Amino acid sequence: MNRYQSFYLSLLVSMSAVAESDVTTYIVNGQDVAVSQYPSTVAFFVDSIEYNRTYYPGSFCGGTYLDDTHVLTAAHCFYNDEEARLFTVAVDNIQNESDYPIARRGIRISEIYYPSSYRDDASLLFPDDIAIVTLESVMSNGSPINVADNESYRSTSQTFIAVGHGNTRSGVDDADSLQAATLNYVTNSECRGEFYDGASLTHKQICFDGDFAEATGLKNAVCSGDSGGAVYWQDGSALRQVGITSFGPVTCGDPELEVTSVFTELTDYQVWIDNVLSGQIQPTLTSSDSERQAYIDRYGYIGGAPTTENNVESSESTQTSSGGGGSLNFIWLAGLWMLSRLRCRQSRK
């Protein structure tokens, strides 16, 4: 297996706040889990194999299966990213990221929906960070998510599980298999106080902390690459998705913080989801074969100079692409707190 250079760029924000800290998104202190335990799991890869034989070998975001042509994810995974809009493929029930693309192939997306109220602005804490993508063909192996119908789970006595293929600590992704870690509920008032006074965190977001592990020196948390994936509530024997991975500290699982992960809460968006699925809302973005071909004709590649792997080329550039949908997140500076969206164009060694 060729060595791929792992890369990501944290989104930084300084704001008038009380203390200095970090925020990001990977599964930290996670355990290997069977994807059959979480059959709604979907991973997104950027892939132009049929156009110029290149692809990113690591997933950049996650999602969950809504029905055979729709996947739920985070808006920031696609916002202002032309490569993600044009070249994303969705892969359902993928156990190991290295199974892609030789053992597992994906389905292209044709439409992207997210609320007009979404703001890609860390100073506003990414409000309404939710999206739905439409697939070009049927995804036959997924299992629809089970969403809680009220917020009775908002209690420190409940068990929550975050799932994803993201990094295992900041800048490191040393797990090939799907990962899961338990999280602990944190009230929104405590969450606001942890980040900054008078924060713009809304009731449509839900916060978590994680247990500290001596072995890693970190708390359980999500990290880069986990964006768009799920946090589940263990409701007796049932798993119910309550949130979509949105953002966290730059240092994933920072033991100095009382909040390690923030999610978009699903109960507040059920009407919007139903309206998208019923065709009552027009897509925010679309993608087509002719646009993809035009992009390749213009720029020649995705993500930079490729390397060869199994006769298929994989992009490992740390440069942003000419098309404006590059590999790295934007940098924002404005205060003492540093926040990071969890999207990642990562590659695996």
297: helix, strand or coil: helix
pLDDT for 35: 93
Contact 65, 146 (CB under 8 A): no
DSSP annotation of 321 = P
DSSP annotation of 320 = P
Cβ burial 156-194 (10 Å sphere, 16+ → b, else e): eeeebbbbbbbbbbbbbbebebbbbbbbbbbebeebbbb
CATH architecture of 40-145+273-341: Beta Barrel (2.40)
- Tell me the per-residue pLDDT of 62-115, one tens digit each, with 9 for 90 and over: 999 999 999 999 999 999 999 999 999 999 999 999 999 988 889 999 999 999
Place of tokens 């409940």: 158
pLDDT for 30: 67
Cβ burial 289-316 (10 Å sphere, 16+ → b, else e): eeebeebbeebebbbbebbebeeebbbb
Task: Report the half-sphere exposure of 209 (CA within 13 A, side-chain side).
Answer: 18
Cβ-based neighbour number of residue 212 at 10 Å? 13
Q: pLDDT tens per residue, the chain (349 residues)?
A: 222 222 222 222 222 222 223 333 336 676 889 999 999 999 999 999 999 988 888 899 999 999 999 999 999 999 999 999 999 999 999 999 999 998 888 999 999 999 999 998 887 889 999 999 999 999 988 899 999 989 999 999 999 999 999 887 777 777 788 999 999 999 998 888 776 555 678 999 999 999 998 888 889 889 888 999 999 999 999 999 999 999 988 888 899 989 989 999 999 999 999 999 999 999 999 999 999 999 999 988 886 434 334 335 555 432 222 222 222 222 222 222 334 555 655 432 2
pLDDT for 312: 52
Alpha-carbon distance of 84 to 326, in angstroms, equals 9
Amino acid 100 reads Y
165: Cα separation from own chain's centroid: 9
19 token code pair: 């203390």
Alpha helices, H only, the chain: 49-52, 82-87, 188-195, 270-277, 289-299
- Tell me the per-residue pLDDT of 148-162, one tens digit each, with 9 for 90 and over: 989 999 999 999 999
Contact 185, 18 (CB under 8 A): no
Q: Where are the domains of the chain?
A: 40-145+273-341
109 token code pair: 């997306």
Residue 3, Cβ density class (10 Å: 0-12 exposed, 13-18 middle, ≥19 buried): exposed
pLDDT for 267: 96
